[in-house]
Structure 1
Amino acid sequence: MNVLLRLLARQRAVAAVVTGALLAVGVALYATLPDQMVIHWNAAGNPDNAVGKAIAVLAMPAVVVFMSVLFEVSGSDLGERIVGSLAMLLLFVVQIMVFAVNLGYDVPIVPITLALAGVVVAAAFWVEYGGE
């Protein structure tokens, strides 16, 4: 198994790093973020859901922790752990884009997220059916 797959297989470590990084970025940006933050967009790229800043900063790390716990209690196999790690990394990128949009940057969040989700799905198939 190559180095990248070995790292991704350490799903708990990936979850800890992603959670810590999301919390650190959220705390660092907290004062500059708006009180209400857009967290969801429709397929046309229009914002359709906003929440308070604290929820927007803490929800994604909570989702990553929840995912990690699910992987632990479900007895997931190596491939599932790798795919779970990839999904957590996707959530990290999405949260960074959410921060950027709410800070006023023009980020095409819907197409980027869809493309990255496609990469995760392709990687899942590769890990399960064609990988090492």
Structure 2
Amino acid sequence: MNALVRFLPRQRAVAALITGVLLALGVALYAALPDQMAIHWNAAGEPDNVVAKPIAVLAMPAVVVFMSVLFEASSIDIGERIVGSLAMLMLLVVQVIVFGANLGYDVSIVPITLGLAGGMVAVSVWVQRR
């Protein structure tokens, strides 16, 4: 755990690692993914937004890079860098869930995303109070 705590403030390195993992996953799974991919689900867990496969595969890495640039452009403290790194890790988990759902796995989208969001809020509050 201590190594993770030391790594998370290195937000640029976290962003590079997550972007690389996202791109590698996208390349590895590309042929198996459908041409139109669900990227959003409603509260009942039903897909309500689809996009073309290249967009679904490349959008999340682009969001992580954009977040990293925003964090670098602003003067933020160590707690905010940790929260930003955790948010990027959450985006990695979300992308894995999206890939899994589009590959036909039975993924409980709503409880997982609610848990992730709640966990992110809890960790953010904890980090900011430290």
* TM superposition score category, shorter chain reference: over 0.9
Q: Deviations over 1:99-128 (max 9, x none)?
A: 000000000112101101111111111111
Q: What is the Cα deviation at residue 5 of structure 1?
A: 1.9
Q: Deviations over 1:74-93 (max 9, x none)?
A: 11111100000000000000
Alignment RMSD = 0.8
CA distance in 1, matches of 2:90, 2:114: 10
CA distance in 2, matches of 1:23, 1:66: 15
CA distance in 2, matches of 1:18, 1:11: 10
**Secondary structure at 1:61 match in 2:** helix
CA distance in 2, matches of 1:14, 1:109: 25
Name the structure 2 match of 1:102. 102
Name the structure 2 match of 1:22. 22
Aligned letter for 1:99?
F
**Structure 2: 5+ residue stretches without partners:** none
Q: What is the Cα deviation at residue 44 of structure 1?
A: 1.5
Q: Deviations over 1:18-69 (max 9, x none)?
A: 0000000000000010000000001121110000000000000000000000
Structure-1-length-normalised TM-score: 0.95
Structure-2-length-normalised TM-score: 0.96
Name the structure 2 match of 1:69. 69
Percent identical: 74
CA distance in 1, matches of 2:66, 2:121: 20
Name the structure 1 match of 2:127. 127
Q: What is the Cα deviation at residue 4 of structure 1?
A: 2.2
CA distance in 1, matches of 2:62, 2:24: 14
Find runs of 4+ consecutive structure 1 residues off by over 4 angstroms.
Answer: none
CA distance in 2, matches of 1:122, 1:39: 25
CA distance in 2, matches of 1:109, 1:22: 19
